[in-house]
């Protein structure tokens, strides 16, 4: 179905809001004007594509109110169906609006153009910086999608598990001193991986599950080295 089939529903939708609408004005697929307001530009594509988004971004040189419009429904814009939140987030950051057109010609304004005002993400940023600082070395290749990512937390778990495997049951305070891991208490209590068993108050041993799975991390343990955790992991 050609892109021109989207023009009629879009034109009707805008005219119902008091706009005068014309197609193919310069490089713009659709331009609409209402009174003394600035022009509204709509770029049409049968499906959501990168080309459509780039086209709309280019139109921001003509207008502050630019929409992308595409058809939705069976056989159309799978990327929209599967990634609606990500798509609207991207368009919002670009200052673009979004109109969708159904198979019956119904137009929905999903998002209106507006200047992007990012929310503060200081907490999330701090968590990322903390992970960066605490992770020893660079054990993960960028772009990998491993479910068992070697995070700074897992590195600390491995240190605890190795020490318990070598020495048997230990008090939390002793284990923290031997490994240099300050959060030993929470690691053992939370026991996210099921690697630890408490034998009495404040004393832990490596669980049977931990004994089975620890050898799977031999390469990571080698890279971590022996002894206590370095004071400044960023230098490792």
- Say how far apart CA 156 and CA 181 lie, in whole Å: 6
Question: Within this chain, do residues 173 and 82 fall inside the same structural domain, yes or no?
Answer: no
What's the total number of domains in the chain?
Answer: 2
Q: Is residue 166 part of a domain?
A: yes
Report CA-CA distances (Å) from 226 to 126, 150, 155, 158, 193: 29, 17, 12, 11, 22
Q: Is residue 117 part of a domain?
A: no
CATH assignment of the domain containing 192:
1.10.10
HSE-up of 148 (CA within 13 Å, CB side)?
8
Say if residue 235's pLDDT is above 50.
no
Question: Within this chain, do residues 130 and 220 fall inside the same structural domain, yes or no?
Answer: yes
Q: Is residue 222 part of a domain?
A: yes
User: What letter does residue 79 receive in the DSSP assignment?
Assistant: H
Which range, of 129-138, 148-157, 163-172, averages the lowest pLDDT? 129-138
Question: Within this chain, do residues 49 and 133 fall inside the same structural domain, yes or no?
Answer: no
Question: Within this chain, do residues 84 and 155 fall inside the same structural domain, yes or no?
Answer: no
Query: What pLDDT score was predicted for residue 31?
Result: 93
Q: Is residue 116 part of a domain?
A: no
| Domain span holding position 133 | 124-138+148-235
Query: What pLDDT score was predicted for residue 208?
Result: 95
Question: Within this chain, do residues 91 and 175 fall inside the same structural domain, yes or no?
Answer: no
| Long-range own/partner contacts, residues 193-199 (CB < 8 A, 24 or more apart) | 193/157, 195/157, 195/161, 196/160, 196/161, 196/164, 199/169
Question: Within this chain, do residues 24 and 78 fall inside the same structural domain, yes or no?
Answer: yes
Question: Within this chain, do residues 128 and 229 fall inside the same structural domain, yes or no?
Answer: yes
List helix spans (H) across the chain: 4-15, 50-59, 78-82, 84-94, 122-134, 152-167, 172-179, 184-190, 208-213, 218-224
Note the pLDDT tens digit of each residue in 155-174.
Answer: 999 999 999 999 988 999 99
- Say how far apart CA 187 and CA 177 lie, in whole Å: 14
Q: Is residue 36 part of a domain?
A: yes
Tokens of residue 28, six digits: 């713009």
Question: Within this chain, do residues 70 and 168 fall inside the same structural domain, yes or no?
Answer: no
Say if residue 232's pLDDT is above 50.
no
Categorize the per-residue pLDDT at 233 as very low, low, confident or very high, splitting at 50, 70 and 90. Answer: very low
Tokens of residue 221, six digits: 């343990």
Question: Within this chain, do residues 27 and 97 fall inside the same structural domain, yes or no?
Answer: yes
Using an 8 Å Cβ cutoff, are 174 and 188 in contact?
no
Q: Is residue 218 part of a domain?
A: yes
Query: What pLDDT score was predicted for residue 79?
Result: 65
Note the pLDDT tens digit of each residue in 58-91.
Answer: 999 989 999 999 988 766 656 677 788 888 999 9
Query: What pLDDT score was predicted for residue 4?
Result: 78
Q: Is residue 143 part of a domain?
A: no
CATH assignment of the domain containing 41:
3.40.1340
Tokens of residue 48, six digits: 């959501």
What phi and psi, each to the nearest 5 degrees, are found at residue 190? Answer: -70, -40
């Amino acid at each position: 179905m050609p892109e021109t089939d989207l023009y009629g529903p879009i034109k009707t939708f805008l005219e119902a809001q008091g706009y005068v609408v014309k197609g193919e004005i310069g490089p713009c697929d659709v331009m609409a004007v209402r009174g003394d307001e600035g022009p509204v530009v709509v770029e049409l594509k049968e499906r959501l594509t990168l080309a459509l988004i780039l086209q709309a971004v280019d139109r921001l040189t003509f207008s502050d109110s630019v929409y992308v419009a595409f058809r939705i429904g069976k056989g159309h814009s799978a990327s929209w169906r599967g990634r609606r939140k990500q798509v609207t987030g991207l368009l919002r950051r670009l200052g673009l609006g979004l109109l969708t057109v159904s198979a019956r010609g119904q137009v929905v304004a999903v998002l209106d153009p507006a200047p992007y005002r990012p929310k503060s993400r200081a907490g999330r940023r701090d968590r990322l910086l903390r992970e960066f600082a605490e992770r020893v070395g660079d054990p993960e290749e960028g772009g990998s999608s491993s479910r068992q990512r070697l995070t700074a937390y897992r590195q600390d778990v491995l240190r605890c598990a190795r020490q318990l495997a070598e020495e048997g049951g230990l008090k939390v305070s002793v284990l923290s001193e031997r490994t240099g891991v300050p959060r030993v208490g929470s690691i053992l209590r939370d026991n996210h991986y099921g690697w630890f068993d408490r034998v009495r108050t404040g004393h832990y041993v490596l669980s049977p599950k931990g004994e089975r799975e620890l050898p799977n991390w031999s390469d990571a343990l080698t890279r971590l080295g022996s002894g206590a955790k370095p004071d400044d992991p960023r230098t490792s």
